[in-house]
Amino acid sequence: MITIFRDAVKRYGQNLVLDHVNFDIKKGEIIGLLGSNGAGKTTTIKALMGLVPIDSGEIKLFDEEFSVNKNSIKRRIGMVPQEIVVFNDLTARENLNFFGQLYGIKGMELKTRVDEVLNFIGLKEYEKVMPKKFSGGMKRRLNIGCALVHKPELLIMDEPTVGIDPQSRNHILEAVRKLGNVGTTIIYTTHYMDEVQNLCSRVLIMDTGHIIANGSVADLTKRLNFEEKTHIVFKKSSSELIQNLRNVSGIRDVLSTDNKVTLLSQTGASNLEDIIKTSQNYGIISIQSETPTLEDVFLTLTGKTLRDEEE
């Protein structure tokens, strides 16, 4: 295991922020850590970084017990903060050199690593340019690069795509996939649910200091037994059609307005082929399937929307 939390408790005065938090993270996983304002997500990250001590319980990283004084463990972690922390009066290469030196990298090893990172984040041709001349997306990419120079085994990414253009966002998401493919363990926080749904092998949802859900998106939607929806527009409709659709395996309900029909099926019914066969003589104009999303899971479990706010 890369990370183990066992009964982690953290209080700020009378405020219980982490209430016996338990989870494990395996090597190479990309974990989506989600939580709305006050859920405990930020404190969890700070505890992982060794920035705040927990009051009781245990945190283990790389099979070692972790505390705020374990610098040997901290060197194996990379952090991409939501705030951009590059130096505007140093070039892109000089920024990467600086952060590499903080981790004790020097000489040819440093030059090699900086070259690799510049290529990886797509800024090699801008290596002599100062970040104050960069777009927001380019600054975000350099921000990520500064966390990668020392080849961290565990990378924590806190809202890495906030406020950037679609091209830079896609570049960052592809970089996360590549890092995961080479075995980097990643903890990824964001308020963009589609990023977690498309990137992460597993999701941890926090609320009021607890981990209230832990699993893949598919596992969580199946566990909560959401209904799947199929929307069909017909050239013509009839009571006979509606009754036939009600008899399709897995159908829970059929809602009809004029020539528009919405079918509610139990999760995992896999009945689209049967629906089409039953409907084909009535002239299907359009058909659209709607499956549960991570947003549905989060809203159902917490009763809240995921907000871009800090604790």
With beta carbons less than 8 A apart as the criterion, state whether 196 and 203 touch. yes
Looking at residue 225, its pLDDT comes to: 74
* 77-80, strands of its sheet edge to edge: 77-80, 154-158, 185-189, 30-35, 202-207, 210-215
Give domain limits for the chain: 3-221, 227-290
Please, what is the angle between helix 107-120 and helix 136-148, to 10°? 140
- The strand pairing partners of 230, in sequence order, are 263, 289
CA torsion angle 107 108 113 118 (round to 10):
100
What's 173-225 look like in SS3? Answer: HHHHHHHHHCCCEEEEECCCHHHHHHHCCEEEEEECCEEEEEECHHHHHHHCC
Looking at residue 293, its pLDDT comes to: 87
Per the CATH hierarchy, to which homologous superfamily does domain 3-221 belong? P-loop containing nucleotide triphosphate hydrolases (3.40.50.300)
Looking at residue 309, its pLDDT comes to: 43
pTM: 0.85
Indicate the CATH number of 227-290 among 3.40.50.1970, 3.30.70.1230, 3.40.190.10, 3.30.70.100: 3.30.70.100
Which own/partner pairs from 138-143 qualify as long-range (CB within 8 Å, at least 24 positions apart)? 138/168, 139/84, 139/86, 140/84, 140/164, 140/168, 140/172, 141/168, 141/171, 141/172, 141/175, 142/86, 142/92, 142/95, 142/96, 143/80, 143/81, 143/84, 143/85, 143/86
Looking at residue 17, its pLDDT comes to: 97
Q: How do the pLDDT tens digits run along the chain, 311 residues long? A: 899 999 999 999 999 999 999 999 999 999 999 998 889 999 999 999 999 999 999 999 999 999 878 888 999 999 999 999 999 999 999 999 999 999 999 999 999 999 999 999 999 999 999 999 999 999 999 999 999 999 999 999 999 998 888 888 999 999 999 999 999 999 999 989 999 999 999 999 999 999 999 999 989 988 877 788 999 999 988 999 999 999 999 999 999 998 999 999 987 788 999 999 999 889 999 999 888 889 889 988 988 766 544 44
Looking at residue 308, its pLDDT comes to: 43
